[in-house]
Amino acid sequence: MTFVSMNPLIECVPNFSEGRDSSKIQLISESIESVSGVKILHIDSGADANRTVITFAGAPEAVCSAAFEAIKTASEIIDMRIHQGKHPRIGSADVCPLIPVRDVSMEETVKYARSLAERVGRELEIPVYCYENAAFVPERRNLAFCRKGEYESLKQKLSEQKPDFGTTFTPKVAKTGATVIGARNFLIAVNFNLNTKSKETASLIASGIREKGKNAAGAKLKGIKAIGWYIADFDIAQVSVNITDINATPLYTVFEEVKKRAGELGANLTGTEIIGLVPEKILLDSGNFFLSQTGSHENVSDELLLKTAIEKLGLNDLYPFVPDEKILERKITYYLCLG
């Protein structure tokens, strides 16, 4: 594959169905790092979800090679027949999105994603569904549609919905599961912490805020996917949210809506846990919103906006939020300085 671009840079954020065995997570990470031209930016694992999100970036072809190696390693060391976790999943390498960062268009990124999907299906004999901008059919743009029924329904799913690449259900697929590969814009993965252990409360809030959910007012938050769960690691319930349209629905809007709905159910929103990396603008916009509530948001520094966002969103609620480790632009500075 050769696409004309000056210094193209893409990000890859694969999610693996392993969040408890550090040796397996290390093997997957090492397989990514074995490819020259990529850099791991962040690793986020959760024992209850039994899931690890690895963020890495680099030149497109190198990123695709690293993603392939990671999917291959995951398929070898993760057995979906015995996997248990709170997060929805369909395979050992559950989902693998490519995100254009610099000097590469979405159209080019789609080509890379589909090429990666074809290679995974052909060489690893893993069923692959293409999603978001790389989807071949409209329904599969939605990750939830591709993953519906999860691993437990995969045999039936593959018989009814032929994958875009790869094989149908085989003894090997029984172990590896399927994977979903695509190209998308940035999204924010975030968990909102509640001062309750009630999964039911978290689920009610989730159903009220997600775009396809229903609530008494009939309102929906655009681009919001949400579920509620109890996390034993922290002994709290959380509303776990993906903000897939960060322009239509800012982080602070979701925070305020979860806070309001939690209060209506007799609970409090205590803080926010961001999974993976977050673009700096998301936090600056949040800081500006919260300061605007006090009438003191004009002519303030980015430092104050960031500090305000961290405080008001409660980003230090479960563990320290370190901007240099969590803000996307600060992690990819090395690449942005190339060329």
Task: Show which residues are catalytic.
Answer: 87
For residue 175, the SS3 value is helix
Encoded tokens for 156: 């039936």
| Angle formed by the axes of helices 60-77 and 22-33, nearest 10° | 150
- 3-class secondary structure, 93: strand
Copy the structure tokens of residue 154.
């995969």
Cβ neighbour number for residue 299 with a 10 Å cutoff: 5
| Cβ contact 286:321 at 8 Å | no
Contact 54, 40 (CB under 8 A): yes
The alpha-carbon radius of gyration of the chain (Å, integer) is 20
> Tokens 């309750």 identify what position?
196
- Among 49, 55, 32, smallest CA distance to 229 is for 49
Torsion sign, CA atoms 114, 116, 121, 122: positive
